Structure 1
């Protein structure tokens, strides 16, 4: 029974558990946490599984169900995306956004939180509906659109992208709270809104939970004795700028025995495989996407785990894989601008190395230095896991989310905070 004094919270995202979309899994953790708090009533508004073909094959979920902790999951009526996927995915984005706005107006929650899926217009409609009923609106940004597509070369700064930026900037200005993943993203939001006092909060993501069956690591995937292993794990896309890293492996001296393992799938993977084949580069190994039960042990045994981004992307996105690496005690190699929060991570926490992502020769020299300093791995590993526990562990993230929601009844709209101690 809903108490008269309870805080009704509506969390919205197009994809949700049991789909394998990362934010959908993250949102389940947030929903479970909040629903376990006294006087919080949590509803997740989402769609039927469509992200993972394996999950879609299991059939539709109930329109309404209760998950662990007591959160209620409500699913919008959308078209199947198994045929004409691009057409129906775009149509479903519109339908989901409209049904989300309607749900807000009917349910009248006190707090509404929306992410970036559907992008831009989903959050805009949710904020508009929340404003009508005077609910607090939280905009949870995993990346900042369309700017991240601009710097990634996927969009020109033409009329339509500029209009999209205006719409999303308006949503940020109207939001009671904006949650991002880094101080650089927070600064981009402040510039966007032209308000240095924008209510921006930095809260890192949880490590993704693994709801799948536990699997053993195949013998062929394990690190061979005497070989220095660099590991990249995650989406193999253009934003990751991995062609420079792959090129650098050919410049490392032949006296160094090492390999670069790229584990994951993405649009840039075929190009990277072609680059490796054309150069007859035996030092680069590709593995397909792996569930966490396999990926995490491979991270733990790697000598160095890699994070890489295109120039300027750090202003609009932050790779959460860095925090996942730290949770596994991984020393890291960050390829990013030295002035970015991302680029400063290895030095700040004494957990590895960083260098510019634009110089192939500098990347090669940094790899050589890391190999020569392999005896430092144990100290890096210990500090990496300790820093994760101290600053980015579940306890810190739980507290940040609970405090943010609790403040929604009383907070002034001009408070800037950070969700985890830096």
Structure 2
């Protein structure tokens, strides 16, 4: 077995500090590099090394970044091709850096975590597998996957799960499904996706009504939202709606905004600007397909909750998202039904003073530094509360 050159490799398609997860992984790397060597295998649109140097970040972290060509709005075939390309880039990067420990997430899913598992089996390294989405099931909801291909991808992912040193995911529903599908006996940790710190604005100072920030994709019930908002406004509804973000349904949102003065579409905005935008509104829209909640959890949920805006979850009552909203007391749940949603919008016209403030302990667990410290605790041998001592 070849002698290890690197203590930890972090494998993820995004490592940019302008997103909460990217910032979380960067802070994770900065914690880990204090006591060992760290390599990041990632993709970037520009020169990530130079960007980190100019920002005074990531000192001592080795960056292996290939060019990114697709976004969440790109076609499925292009995204699959890029995932396969990144898989090869990852394997080459691992062989060159020879890490003793690897952290890998589902960005991109299945094939990249699998190649990490193969590397670790061949070279005697350990890895932690972070499932921020359970694939291929989540993808199968969007674009039906051939049955044989689905079974093959599940088999690859089950191999990765069973041989991981430990697993991280987002909800009890996802944890239960992972155990059932893979039969893994490895430890499974629950960790919320992080948000940048948000200082809530008092409700009486908020000038906006409802806001949606994030990916207007295939799983966010955007067509239902558009028809319900249109019907609500045609019936004389008074609320105003603000949308920000890209995605395949962005043209539908833009069309609605062009037709109604009470709807505004801002296009894609940086995550920090999105946090400020949510802070200006009384309610934050959180629509999600019920089936996908078994395999994923909306990433914008943490930022919504921290903002103090009321979360309006549009989903079934028996979902992880509905339970999260109700258990944390951060908003209300509306069934994913056209008439119910129109009725809910009217009911919100008289609800402007709701208090959805979270406790300080809960708030801390949704912030980026907590996320980074937990990754360090789970993924780095000898780490205690984010303090790293390599074995």
TM-score range, shorter chain: 0.7 to 0.9
Among residues 189, 194, 199, which one is paired with 1:201 in the alignment? 189
Among residues 347, 352, 375, which one is paired with 1:401 in the alignment? 375
1:365 match = 343
2:242 match = 261
Judge conservation of contact 2:30–2:61 (CA < 8 Å) in 1: no
Distance 1:310 1:167, change over 3 A: same
Name stretches of at least 5 consecutive residues in structure 1 with no aligned partner.
51-55, 211-222, 411-422
Give me the whole-angstrom Cα distance separating, in 2, the residues matched to 1:166 and 1:252. Answer: 46
Aligned-pair CA distance for 1:79 = 7.0
2:9 match = 10
TM-score, normalisation: structure 2: 0.81
Give me the whole-angstrom Cα distance separating, in 1, the residues matched to 2:239 and 2:79. Answer: 42
1:113 match = 103
Among residues 26, 30, 44, which one is paired with 2:28 in the alignment? 30
Distance 1:228 1:134, change over 3 A: same
Judge conservation of contact 2:106–2:113 (CA < 8 Å) in 1: yes
Distance 1:319 1:251, change over 3 A: same
Aligned-pair CA distance for 1:327 = 2.1
Q: Give RMSD over aligned pairs.
A: 3.7
2:141 match = 151
CA shift digits 1:382-404 (9 cap, x unpaired): x2474642542345434422321
TM-score, normalisation: structure 1: 0.76
Paired residue secondary structure (1:374): coil
CA shift digits 1:164-216 (9 cap, x unpaired): 22211221122111211222221221121134x44211112222599xxxxxx
The structure showing larger relative contact order (alpha-carbon pairs under 8 Å, at least 6 residues apart) is 2
Among residues 240, 246, 255, which one is paired with 2:226 in the alignment? 246
CA shift digits 1:294-348 (9 cap, x unpaired): 3222211201001111221111111121101122222211112212221122221
Judge conservation of contact 1:138–1:179 (CA < 8 Å) in 2: yes
Give me the whole-angstrom Cα distance separating, in 2, the residues matched to 1:310 and 1:92. Answer: 26
Judge conservation of contact 2:83–2:108 (CA < 8 Å) in 1: yes
Give me the whole-angstrom Cα distance separating, in 2, the residues matched to 1:21 and 1:393. Answer: 12
Distance 1:228 1:35, change over 3 A: same
Paired residue secondary structure (1:145): coil
CA shift digits 1:115-135 (9 cap, x unpaired): 223432221111111122222
Paired residue secondary structure (2:10): strand
Give me the whole-angstrom Cα distance separating, in 2, the residues matched to 1:171 and 1:159. Answer: 19
Asked if 1:229 is matched to 2:209, the reply is yes
Q: How does 1:330-341 map to 2 (within 5 A)?
A: 330-341=309-320
Among residues 84, 91, 102, which one is paired with 1:101 in the alignment? 91
Aligned-pair CA distance for 1:29 = 2.6
Judge conservation of contact 1:237–1:267 (CA < 8 Å) in 2: yes
Distance 1:409 1:300, change over 3 A: closer
Aligned-pair CA distance for 1:110 = 2.2
1:170 match = 159
Q: How does 1:366-381 map to 2 (within 5 A)?
A: 366-376=344-354, 379-380=355-356
Asked if 1:141 is matched to 2:131, the reply is yes
Paired residue secondary structure (2:219): helix
Name stretches of at least 5 consecutive residues in structure 2 with no aligned partner.
385-391
